[in-house]
Amino acid sequence: MTVDEIRELINLAAETGIAELEVQRGENRVRIRRAAFAGTPEIVLPPTYATAPAAAPTPTPHEAPREKPADLNLVLVKSPIVGTFYESPSPGAAAFVRVGERVQPGKVLCIIESMKLMNEIEAETSGIIESRLVMNGQPVEYGEALFAVRTV
């Protein structure tokens, strides 16, 4: 994971106003925890279960983004289970959703597979997919943010 990607996640956490955001890409995992109204987000890089290669460099405090007011119109769609993220119903098929696409409640956004249980994750609000936070085929944790949806 690059510093730019981490910076993007910090911006996302700041925009949404959420307290904590955890994202894994490959074997790198970043958890961003916002100190309550204190300004600079805190970044924690916990050890992964498997032995991971050297973690991505942690941004130094001066790289912390400008503070923005919490964006109440951004909603995070989180994984209800530990599993593998799939963007499409089968390999090679079109993704369930694209960034920029408008979705309605009940629209399937992705599948999380856990032990051959395919869990369809549906949109709970109307909005536009602002960003996708995990890569196809990547493992995700319980509560991990999958998509940011801008409500309309």
Partner 1 sequence: MTPSDIERVRREFPGRVIDYFGSIDSTMRAAAGRAAGYVVVAGEQTAGQGRHGHSWHSAADSGLYCSLVLKPTPVLTLALGLATADAIAQAAGVECDLRWPNDVMLGGKKVAGILVQLSGATAIAGIGINLSQTAFPAELEALATSLKTYTDAAEILIALLREVDRYTSEDPEDILRLFTHASSYACGRRVRVDQPDGVIEGTTAGLDASGFLIVRKDDGTDTLIVAGGVRAAGS
Contact footprint for partner 1 (CB under 8 A): 26-27, 49-51, 82-84, 86, 89-93, 111, 113-120, 122, 135, 137-139
Query: Do 127 and 149 form a contact (C-beta atoms < 8 A)?
Result: yes
Nearer to partner 1 among residue 73 and residue 138 (C-beta): 138
Q: How far is the CB of 113 from partner 1 (least distance, A)?
A: 4
Radius of gyration of the chain, Cα coordinates, nearest whole angstrom: 15
CB atoms within 10 A of CB 22: 20
What is residue 20's three-state secondary structure?
Answer: strand
Q: How far is the CB of 142 from partner 1 (least distance, A)?
A: 10
| Angle in degrees, CA 64, 69, 147, rounded to 5 | 75
Nearer to partner 1 among residue 39 and residue 91 (C-beta): 91
Nearer to partner 1 among residue 40 and residue 138 (C-beta): 138
